[in-house]
Structure 1
Amino acid sequence: MTRVRRARVGDLPDLVALIAEHAVYEKAEPPADGLAGRLEPLLFGSPEPRLIALVAELGEGGPVVGYATCSAEVSTWDGAEYLHMDCLFLRDGHRGLGIGESLMDAVRAEARRLGLGHVQWQTPVWNDGAIRFYRRIGATSKDKRRFFLPVR
């Protein structure tokens, strides 16, 4: 039985390990050293944190096998807030078991809790499994490219 819950401070090592695995999966650069220290204030620094992290564990207190992170953002075009899901990842061997859907249900519950009308996210165009999953749960997509601009 999988349980999805809000991440706790003690989950940071597992969360950082999952994030590193996620980067490898998406063929991206690994996170810079000190990620746990940068995430801790975002996740746990206030009663209503800037970043929400949800973890999927196998049974109560079992190993953490997946995560989702999200935060409230603003759409200029809509003139409204929405929940932006930055990451959703499951360890290899744990996909296709309903865990991703449980994480998405928890993300939707966070959006409802915050009074937000929808969730937005992105996935690499080559990630056919994720795209099939998102379409199966009723999501639609728009083609866009994501740009990064360093400011230092």
Structure 2
Amino acid sequence: MILIRPATPADVATILGFVRDLAAFEREPDAVTATAPMLAEALFGASPAAEAVIAEREGEPVGFALFFHNFSTWTGRRGVYLEDLYVTPAARGAGVGTALLRHLAGIAVDRGCARFEWSVLDWNADAIAFYRAMGAVGQEEWTVQRVSGAALHRLAAR
């Protein structure tokens, strides 16, 4: 049986480990600069930036999802944005990813959100097929734009 529960401060090290595993899977093993104190503050500090849930099987963490609210001016309502979803290799194919997505969809519905969305790497055909089977529709006409690092500082220069 798969249990999905809200993350607690005691889960921060597990979450960071899953984030590092996800980065390695996504071919960016050295890209994670987050630390346990940073995640603890972001998830459980005075003004949380995000929320996380842990998937457990037989009492052991086997995956997680980290999400936050966004907002649609077109609908006038919040949405749920899934930042990260990770399932350990040993637990893949056992319904953990499905349970996590269903749980987050339930949060979106319970909170009156207009939509639930996320990004996926274009080369991750298995994930894309899984998401399509769950009812997700690719937004092919939209592309993600990002400014970070030195470019962010240059853009912010006044």
Task: Indicate whether the TM-score tops 0.5.
Answer: yes
What displacement does 1:147 show? 2.6
Correspondence for 1:21 = 21
TM-score, with normalisation over the residues of structure 2? 0.85
Alpha-carbon distance, 1:27 to partner: 1.0
How many residues are treated as equivalent by the alignment?
A: 148
> Which residue of the partner structure matches residue 115 of structure 1?
112
Q: How does 1:20-39 map to 2 (within 5 A)?
A: 20-28=20-28, 29-32=30-33, 34-39=34-39
**CA deviation string 1:27-74 (max 9, x = no partner):** 124311x5211111221124x843110111112xx2211111111101
Residue 100 (structure 1) aligned with residue 101 (structure 2): no
> Which residue identity does 1:66 align to in structure 2?
G
Matched, 1:51 2:33: no
**Code of the aligned partner of 1:145:** T
Report the RMSD for the aligned CA atoms in angstroms: 1.7
Of Structure 1 and Structure 2, which has the larger fraction of its residues in helix? 2
Q: Which residue of 2 aligns with 1:145?
A: 143
**Secondary structure of the structure 1 residue equivalent to 2:70:** strand
- Shift in Å at residue 10 of structure 1? 0.6
Aligned counterparts of 1:115 and 1:79: Cα–Cα separation in 2: 11
For 1:104 and 1:121, the matched residues in 2 are separated by 11
Moved over 4 A (4+): none
Secondary structure of 1:82's aligned partner: strand
Structure-2 separation of matches of 1:138 and 1:145:
20
What secondary structure sits across from 1:30 in the alignment? Answer: coil
2 CA distance for matches of 1:63 and 1:100?
Answer: 15
Q: Is the 8 A contact 2:62 2:91 kept in 1?
A: yes
Q: Which residue of 2 aligns with 1:86?
A: 83
% of aligned pairs identical?
28
| Contact kept in structure 1, 2:75 and 2:114, CA below 8 Å | no
Equivalent residue of 1:88, what SS? Answer: strand
Q: Which of 51, 71, 75 is 2:68 aligned to?
A: 71
For structure 2, list consecutive stretches of 5 or more residues without a partner in the other structure.
154-158
Q: Does 1:129 align with 2:133?
A: no
Larger radius of gyration: 2
Aligned-partner Cα distance in 2 for 1:108–1:49: 20
Report the TM-score when normalising by structure 1: 0.88
